[in-house]
Amino acid sequence: MLASLGGAKLNDPGFVYEPKYDGIRAIVEIEARGRNVTLWSRLGNDKTRQFPEIAGALKKWAKPLTEPVVLDGEIVALDADGEPAGFQQLQGRIHLTHADVDQPTGRVALIAFDLLKKGSVDFRSRPLLERRGALEKLFGRTGSEVLRLSEIAKGDGRPLHDRALASGWEGLIAKLATSKYVSGKRTPDWRKLKIVQEQEFVVGGCT
């Protein structure tokens, strides 16, 4: 499910607001007991080998699970303070080989923001807030800084927007609280709120 460009109020009880993380979108398939983990990009490319610490953390976390799980999230680079950094910090991961996969460069994390399936239950037809509640129950305490939940603000995104401006984030995502998950589709139920930095200048010249 993809967000559309379009405006949304920053204070609307019908929406929830999340940071727009600047990384690699990932669909995460986890088998029961963590027997296997696969990270798929939005274009269907297998990214598992490029992020071995994320795959390893997921396998460890999933050992108690008795059924498979499918998550949606973002793979992000981390800065020195452990905060999500820009996409350029992931560039060293794109061309990892088997020779250097055990010593990848830079710290990374998976930030999960949606639960698509759990066992035989398909959550995609359920409202966003119901999916979010199930995700928090499942993924809220992973015991790993590599596995995280997205931040969320319900009904009022203004404080999050202020932080985005102060911290130089790319923007926010406004999501309709009742929205269902439509795989592979771009929908106005999710909206990108980009941060645009503006400054007025006077340009003069003479001959």
pLDDT in tens, 97-123: 554 555 567 899 999 999 999 999 999
Residues 158 and 145 in one domain: no
Residues 34 and 97 in one domain: yes
Residues 128 and 71 in one domain: yes
Tokens of 176: 């309709």
| Residue 191 confidence (pLDDT) above 90 | yes
Residues 40 and 136 in one domain: yes
Contact 111, 148 (CB under 8 A): yes
Number of domains in the chain: 2
In a domain, 205, yes or no: no
Single pTM value for the model = 0.89
30-84 confidence digits (pLDDT tens): 999 999 999 999 999 999 999 999 999 999 999 999 999 999 999 999 999 999 9
Residues 27 and 119 in one domain: yes
Higher pLDDT, 128 or 167: 128
Tokens of 26: 């990932």
Torsion of CA 84, 90, 92, 94, to 10 degrees: 150
Residues 142 and 165 in one domain: no
Q: What is the mean pLDDT of residues 8-31?
A: 96
In a domain, 113, yes or no: yes
Q: What pLDDT, on a 0 to 100 scale, did the predictor assign at position 167? A: 87
Eight-class DSSP state of 163: H
**Pick from 112, 93, 100, 97: nearest CA to 51:** 93
Residues 134 and 175 in one domain: no
Q: What pLDDT, on a 0 to 100 scale, did the predictor assign at position 103? A: 57
Return the active site residues: 20
Residues 131 and 84 in one domain: yes
Residue 46, judged by CB atoms within 10 A of its CB (0-12, 13-18, 19+), counts as: exposed
**Pick from 125, 123, 155: nearest CA to 137:** 123
Q: What pLDDT, on a 0 to 100 scale, did the predictor assign at position 186? A: 94
Q: What pLDDT, on a 0 to 100 scale, did the predictor assign at position 198? A: 52
In a domain, 36, yes or no: yes
Q: What share of the chain is helix, strand, coil (3-state, %, to 5)?
A: 25, 35, 40
Q: What pLDDT, on a 0 to 100 scale, did the predictor assign at position 101? A: 52
Phi, psi of 33, rounded to the nearest 5 degrees? 65, 10
